[in-house]
Amino acid sequence: MKSWIRQCGTYTAPVGLFLVFGLVWHLVVQWFDIPKIILPSPLSVINALWVERWILLRASWVTLQAASAGLLCSAVFGSLIAVLFSQSATMRIALYPYVIFLQTVPIVAIAPLLIIWSGYNFRTIVLVAVIISIFPVISNVTSGLLSVNENLRDLFRMQSATRWQMLTKLRIPAAVSQLILGLRISSGLSVIGAIVAEFFVGNSGEYDGLGTIMTARQAQLKTAELMAALMACTALGILLFALVNLMGATVLRRWTRTTGFESEK
């Protein structure tokens, strides 16, 4: 019973706060007579959300595909690069600064350059999503592959295990939980990458992602619709994060009967 009440509290508190925030927002717009272009009332945002639901759903689907493809590429290529790093210290020393470059590069600044190279297309969106989301995968998986328990390493050495056996039977399985943790961080980033890329690519008029919708609504000074698209972006980020989380927890539970996330509690 007590836990039920606590659970209700967990949900009612943030929802209640959200409603209070909406009310204050509505009253501020009413009292100060703020123009719709600057700040539309929450009701008009909800209205825009309803009116544009099919456009937003279609755009979300397009952006979700790009972000998912980017995340998948990050998982695959990030893991491969991490395996390479774990096998050769020279490679690690030589390439790691460039990997950090991927993390620090201002994506907004290089997106136009990528469009010149790759064109106004889906591929460019995925490419930007990969550039922005690959670092957590490389960093986490490399650390997972390298920080294997010393006793386990000795156990393999005592059996005269080959480098390949050490990699496939010990290092890679040990790094699975780190890969999943990396993907949790990357999932949000890949959505950001896809939307930022769409700001630029969308201008061609051939692409219909959430970023495209947002630039179009901004140009039309439809602030309520712009805010509705913003809410769709947030929902999309949460959705992808939740999907990765769910998949990760399922994999880890099957893998070791623990979720691997306990330490965070």
Give me the residues that bind other proteins (CB under 8 A), please.
149, 151-152, 154-161, 165, 169-170, 173-174, 176, 255-258
The distance of closest approach from Cβ of residue 247 to other proteins in the complex, given in angstroms and rounded to an integer, is 17
Of the two residues 46 and 174, which places its CB atom closer to other proteins in the complex? Answer: 174
CA distances from 19 to 13, 27, 39, 42, 232 (A): 10, 12, 18, 10, 18
The distance of closest approach from Cβ of residue 180 to other proteins in the complex, given in angstroms and rounded to an integer, is 13
Q: Which residue has tokens 């099957």?
A: 254
The distance of closest approach from Cβ of residue 148 to other proteins in the complex, given in angstroms and rounded to an integer, is 10
Q: How far apart are CA 132 and CA 190, in angstroms?
A: 7
DSSP 189-214: HHHHHHHHHHHHHGGGSS---HHHHH
Q: How far apart are CA 150 and CA 167, in angstroms?
A: 14
Of the two residues 36 and 157, which places its CB atom closer to other proteins in the complex? Answer: 157
The distance of closest approach from Cβ of residue 165 to other proteins in the complex, given in angstroms and rounded to an integer, is 6
The distance of closest approach from Cβ of residue 169 to other proteins in the complex, given in angstroms and rounded to an integer, is 7
Of the two residues 104 and 160, which places its CB atom closer to other proteins in the complex? Answer: 160
Q: Which long-range contacts (CB under 8 A, 24 or more apart) does 258-261 make?
A: 260/177, 260/180, 260/181
Of the two residues 154 and 206, which places its CB atom closer to other proteins in the complex? Answer: 154
Q: How far apart are CA 52 and CA 143, in angstroms?
A: 45
Of the two residues 77 and 156, which places its CB atom closer to other proteins in the complex? Answer: 156
The distance of closest approach from Cβ of residue 195 to other proteins in the complex, given in angstroms and rounded to an integer, is 36
Of the two residues 182 and 260, which places its CB atom closer to other proteins in the complex? Answer: 260
Give yes or no for a contact between 263 and 180, defined as CB atoms under 8 angstroms apart.
no
Q: Which residue has tokens 């972006």?
A: 233
Please work out, in degrees rounded to the nearest 5, the angle formed at the alpha carbon of residue 103 by the alpha carbons of 100 and 107. Answer: 140
Q: Considering only CA atoms, give the Rg of the chain.
A: 23
